Structure 1
């Protein structure tokens, strides 16, 4: 299982390779990139921060998704996730997740749940600065 929180650029190829499996009939992946706007406001800068427990928490989320998503004969075989921290530029890759499964339906479901659960449960926070001034934290408690 590939899991990590890194301060260096992320590789889609590394994540896709990590979920390769001869039994998998489907592989789904999601790449999250930094966009130049949020809710109609121009974004000029973005930074991610993570709690020291983020990698361990991400691993727990991934294990649960893999166990819960598949069924007998339609198993999820592998999952992988990397998230970037630090200062990112518009267009940079912020997160990559992937799942391989016996069938595409389970691969898509696992991938979707993986990114949704990581965003909801892993202590990673985003600070974005706006073109008109001001900044906000997203995901902070």
Structure 2
């Protein structure tokens, strides 16, 4: 099995790289989640996000991927962006492949939830009116 792909990066994310990391000839389903910076949150217009990560965030991301892979027996991969992102930029890409879609969807959903709750990455939302707020602290 190839090396597990996980990364915290300040560079734009490429979903094709993440998909390729989980592709297997015996798997007919590849489910990819792409988290995109949206232009609103709770009635506020968002102009940008700033993601910050704990120095050990990459270790937490790798652990999430290893544990989901071990529990499901499926290949998984995930990358998360840090730094300043504009509306429309990719913030996170996670992928899982499986012989069939149901197990790939389930494993990918579990992986994304674990990343959101367990990886120490925080975001600062910048609003169009000049205000900002931290999320995930």
TM value normalised by structure 1: 0.91
Does residue 65 (structure 1) correspond to residue 65 (structure 2)? The answer is no
Aligned to 1:6: 9
List gaps (5 residues or longer) in structure 2: none
What number of residue pairs does the alignment pair up? 134
List gaps (5 residues or longer) in structure 1: none
Partners of 1:80 and 1:51 lie apart in 2 by 20
The runs of 4+ residues in structure 1 deviating greater than 2 Å are none
Aligned to 2:88: 91
- CA RMSD in angstroms comes to 1.0
Partners of 2:101 and 2:122 lie apart in 1 by 31
Give 1:133 deviation, angstroms: 3.2
Q: How does 1:117-136 map to 2 (within 5 A)?
A: 117-136=114-133
1:107 corresponds to which of 92, 104, 108: 104
Give 1:102 deviation, angstroms: 2.1
Aligned to 2:76: 79
Give 1:137 deviation, angstroms: 0.7
